[in-house]
Amino acid sequence: MKATAFLVLALALVPVYRAEAQSKVTIKMGDNLPDRTATWGAIIEQINSEFKAAHPGTEIVTESYQDQPYQQKIKIYATAKQLPEVFKFWSFTSLLKPLINGGFVAPLDRAEFEGLGYLPGALDTNTYGGKLYGIPVSTDIWVIYYNKKLFKDAGIDKLPTTLDELYAVIPRFKAKGIIPMTTDGKDAWPLSITFDLLAWRIGGERALTGKALDRKIKFTDPVFVQAAKELQQFVKSGLFQEDLMVSDYGASRNLFGQGKAAMYLMGSWELGLGTDKAFSQEFRDNVDAFKFPVLANGKGVVDDLMAWYGGNYVISSATKNLALDKQYLQFYAKRFPELAWEKAVTLPAQTVKPRPNDTTVAKTILKIVADAKSTSGTPALDLSTPRFKDDNENAIRELCSGLITPEAFVKKLDVSAEKAAKK
């Protein structure tokens, strides 16, 4: 009797289960935004819930890690053929191109995304071999964030516009027990971007490092030696936190957010510092940004701006729900710029309207972009092979740890660029 009842129950459940399975679609996603309650991560969650409401029966499961572990995870997933269906990535040659070459990324229809307000060149940076592979999400510019209150406390009423002026403020902050500037030295890429910018400020020519990668000039040129000297001087002069080379993204950001450091060298994706509730109201009210200074004898000007379209979203070519995934990207492209600007988390890759209630730092970032006379495009470390990127970062680490001379540093870059060019 019991057995019969069990059988009937089991059979009755089968169709229900199958119907359930048919109507539910789960999109697996991945991104580098582990905090889902604040700033960028919270916006993604909002977009996801709006998308799910508009597409009943759709589930979204997201895996998130910090930047560098996330990049490594994606490489490992690609190796194991287990990439998420839709994932945040970077438009760079060093990161996206190997995935495209391996056939892991589905091409998109450019016409579907034109007319969504993308800034000039934004879609082009995601185009390889004439095909669009990703939708850009942010405009990234390189700035120096600063804490107005700490500047005032140290009696500094003029922002540094030259490197000499920047060096001059170091002892003023140190006397107050404040770290003059922080950045993520452990991961080295912020230092590499700064090296590009220094070469530009010295030589006055845009994308010099890119030229060296194309082997039109050599990394051993005097302009790069001088840029390397200047970068090494940054560290030697005590500009950065003492443990620069082992302090990672989160640690360096916290030093600034907690008021222990006066300046933070980072990209515009951190404009959410002005609204991040993890930090005090006093900090949020006082955070602003300024342009990277010039060199007294340099040929570059202050409005030569390191700017590129880094972050993007791509679809795995192994997806089973291509149409739905594309709808998601469409939805994302329409909603993200609006939300990102409203919540002040980053400068989108699409046009945004300034609003009277924008945070101070958001207004400043917009002004820096508007003032730009010339923009850099993707930083050199991401313009070549993954190997060049790794070599570049390791050489920068050695340079900034004082283990090699600027001359030895540029030599290392040149050897690596030569190898990359042959590949």
Q: Which residues in this chain contact other proteins in the complex, by CB under 8 A? A: 71-72, 75-76, 78-79, 81, 98-99, 101-104, 179, 186, 241-246, 255, 260, 385-387, 389-391, 394, 397-398, 401-404
Contact by Cβ (8 Å): 318, 171: no
Q: Which residue has the tokens 């107050």?
A: 176
Q: Which is nearer to other proteins, 358 or 382 (CB)?
A: 382
| Least distance to other proteins, CB of residue 143, Å | 23
Contact by Cβ (8 Å): 203, 228: no
Q: Which is nearer to other proteins, 200 or 283 (CB)?
A: 283
Q: Which is nearer to other proteins, 346 or 384 (CB)?
A: 384
Q: Is 346 helix (H, G, I), strand (E, B) or coil?
A: coil
| Least distance to other proteins, CB of residue 276, Å | 20
Beta strands in 86-139 (DSSP E): 86-90, 127-128, 131-132, 134-136
| 295/403 Cα distance (integer angstroms) | 25
| 293/295 Cα distance (integer angstroms) | 7
| 294/269 Cα distance (integer angstroms) | 23
Q: Which is nearer to other proteins, 189 or 313 (CB)?
A: 189
Q: Which is nearer to other proteins, 86 or 261 (CB)?
A: 261
Residue 71's identity, in one-letter code, is Q
| Least distance to other proteins, CB of residue 98, Å | 6
| Least distance to other proteins, CB of residue 238, Å | 11
Q: Which is nearer to other proteins, 260 or 299 (CB)?
A: 260
Q: Which is nearer to other proteins, 288 or 391 (CB)?
A: 391
| Least distance to other proteins, CB of residue 273, Å | 19
Q: Which is nearer to other proteins, 23 or 394 (CB)?
A: 394
Q: Which residue has the tokens 């996330």?
A: 70
| 49/33 Cα distance (integer angstroms) | 16
| Least distance to other proteins, CB of residue 133, Å | 15
Q: Which is nearer to other proteins, 47 or 255 (CB)?
A: 255
| 386/288 Cα distance (integer angstroms) | 34
Q: Which residues of 73-104 are buried (b: 16+ CB within 10 A; e: fewer)?
A: bbeebbeeeebbbbbbbbbbbbbbbebbeeeb
| Least distance to other proteins, CB of residue 174, Å | 12
The full DSSP string for 250-319 is: HHHHHHHHTTSEEEEEEEGGGGGGGT-TTS-HHHHHHEEEEPPPBPTT-S--TTEE-EE--EEEEEBTT-
| Least distance to other proteins, CB of residue 385, Å | 7
| Least distance to other proteins, CB of residue 6, Å | 34
Contact by Cβ (8 Å): 94, 68: no
Residue 146 belongs to what H/E stretch?
Answer: strand 140-147
Q: Is 398 helix (H, G, I), strand (E, B) or coil?
A: helix
